[in-house]
């Protein structure tokens, strides 16, 4: 397929991934880890997907400044100017503002594809098709487009998007509401209604449309970044970004813009997507035997089933009598946790940080 020349991919790669402790650490979070044992890290997979869509020089990585060297090591073709280093994590609205302002000085009429670095996409061809549909709509209309995933279960770990079906817009639909991580009873009603999609966190919009939205709904944030016009893509950029980030609020794109704007659209999509947010999602996407799933493990299991066993280096693991557990082993830490308590891992990491002064984070 021919590449989209005036289109820019912005890969969000600043998260810590604490729910994947002890494999994901603050010094090397999950996007820089081969979490599924494929031979490539998640950020390498994300980068390779976008190489199919846009020229190499149009792929930008936004990450914490402490991870810039990791990006350079894992993505050696990415030039220094294509890596946007944030001095502080200030959520996704700041990422959108930084990237849009920087790229606007390269192309005023460009289209941006914004996507996380740590998601799994199994059907790359269908992903490309959906991105092209969203791209063409965003290029021709003043529209903020998000990709919504058709839900397969009432999952309480995802945000939901309610939409108004419109057959005239090639599958693009007007968004009615956003709901963050509903309780199970409400998620079940969402699924039954057929009007809701999972929020994938992937967005497509033109440079001009997102800059206008930032100005309308987050004017202080917008002013901070727009005042630095003329320094983006120059040696002065880092100095100004370091100053900007000390003063701006931390707000998500969803809360700051999408929940308020009238020109928000969603494209219902299916391309084998998972946000790989917890060890449970890894368990679901790894190929295991009939009873247990392993990664880098020679397993002897006795009266044990429905477990995920992970090790950094290949070793023999023997389990007996376990049912529904994660066992994740690294050189300096071991996690043993019931699968139905997967969301507790993030809290445990906070407790570990306090007790051990960050030694195991």
93 in any annotated domain: yes
Please tell me the pTM assigned to this model: 0.93
> How many separate domains does the chain show?
2
279, pLDDT greater than 80: yes
Last residue of a domain, one of 252, 274, 296: 274
Instruction: Determine the average pLDDT of the residues in 192-212.
Output: 95
Q: Is residue 2 part of a domain?
A: no
Q: Are residues 112 and 237 in the same domain?
A: yes
- Whether residues 159 and 288 share a domain: the answer is no
List the end-to-end C-alpha distance of the chain, in Å, as a whole number: 43
308 and 178 within one domain: no
Query: Does residue 32 lie in a domain region?
Result: yes
CB-based contacts of 214, cutoff 8 Å, min separation 6 = 93, 96, 97, 100, 221, 222, 225, 257
Asked if residue 292 and residue 270 are part of one domain, the reply reads no
Q: What is the pLDDT of residue 42?
A: 96
User: Do both 227 and 96 map to the same domain?
Assistant: yes
H or E element: which one contains 327?
A: strand 325-329
Same domain, 135 and 216: yes
235 and 220 in a single domain? The answer is: yes
The Cα–Cα gap between 4 and 123 comes to 20
Confidence tier at 1 by pLDDT (50, 70, 90): low
Residue 169: the pLDDT is 62
**250 and 174 in one domain?**
yes
Same-domain status, 206 and 179:
yes
Residues 152 and 84 in one domain: yes
Q: Which two tokens stand for residue 74?
A: 């894992």
For residues 122 and 226, membership in a common domain is answered with yes
| Non-local CB neighbours of 327 within 8 Å, separated by 6+ positions | 307, 308, 309, 310, 317, 319, 334, 335, 336
1 in a structural domain: no
Domain membership of residue 288 as a residue range? 279-356
| pLDDT, average across residues 230-237 | 96
50 lies in the same domain as 130: yes
DSSP label of 306? S
Instruction: Please compute the mean of the pLDDT values over residues 332-348 and round it to a whole number.
Output: 90
Integer Cα distance of 111 and 10 in angstroms = 10
């Amino acid at each position: 397929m021919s590449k989209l020349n005036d289109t820019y991919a912005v890969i969000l790669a600043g998260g810590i991934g604490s729910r994947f402790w002890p494999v994901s650490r603050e010094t090397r979070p999950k996007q820089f880890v081969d979490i599924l044992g494929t031979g490539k890290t998640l950020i390498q997979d994300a980068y390779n997907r976008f190489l199919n869509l846009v020229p190499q020089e149009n792929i930008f990585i936004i990450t914490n400044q402490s991870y810039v060297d990791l990006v350079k090591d894992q993505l050696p073709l990415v030039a220094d100017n294509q890596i946007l280093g944030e001095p502080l994590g200030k959520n996704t609205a700041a990422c959108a503002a930084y990237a849009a302002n920087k790229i606007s000085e390269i192309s005023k009429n460009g289209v941006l594809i914004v996507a996380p670095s740590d998601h799994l996409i199994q059907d790359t061809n269908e992903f490309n098709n959906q991105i092209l549909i969203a791209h063409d709509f965003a290029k021709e209309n003043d529209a903020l487009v998000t990709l919504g995933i058709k839900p397969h279960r009432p999952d309480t770990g995802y945000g939901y998007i309610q939409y108004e079906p419109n057959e005239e817009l090639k599958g693009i639909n007007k968004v009615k509401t956003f709901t963050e991580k509903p309780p199970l009873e409400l998620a079940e009603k969402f699924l039954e209604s057929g009007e809701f999609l999972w929020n994938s966190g992937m967005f497509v919009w033109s440079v001009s449309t997102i800059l206008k939205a930032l100005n309308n709904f987050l004017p202080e944030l917008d002013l901070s970044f727009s005042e630095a016009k003329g320094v983006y893509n120059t040696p002065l950029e880092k100095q100004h970004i370091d100053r900007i980030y000390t003063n701006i609020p931390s707000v998500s794109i969803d809360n700051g813009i999408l929940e308020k704007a009238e020109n928000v659209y969603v494209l219902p999509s299916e391309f084998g997507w998972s946000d790989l947010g917890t060890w449970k999602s890894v368990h679901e996407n790894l190929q295991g035997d009939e009873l247990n799933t392993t990664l880098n493990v020679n397993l002897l299991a006795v009266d044990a089933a429905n477990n995920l066993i992970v090790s950094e280096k290949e070793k023999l693991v023997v389990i007996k009598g376990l049912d529904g557990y994660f066992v994740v082993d690294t050189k300096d830490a071991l996690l043993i946790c019931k699968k139905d308590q997967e969301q507790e891992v993030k809290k445990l990491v906070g407790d570990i940080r306090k007790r051990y002064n960050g030694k195991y984070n």
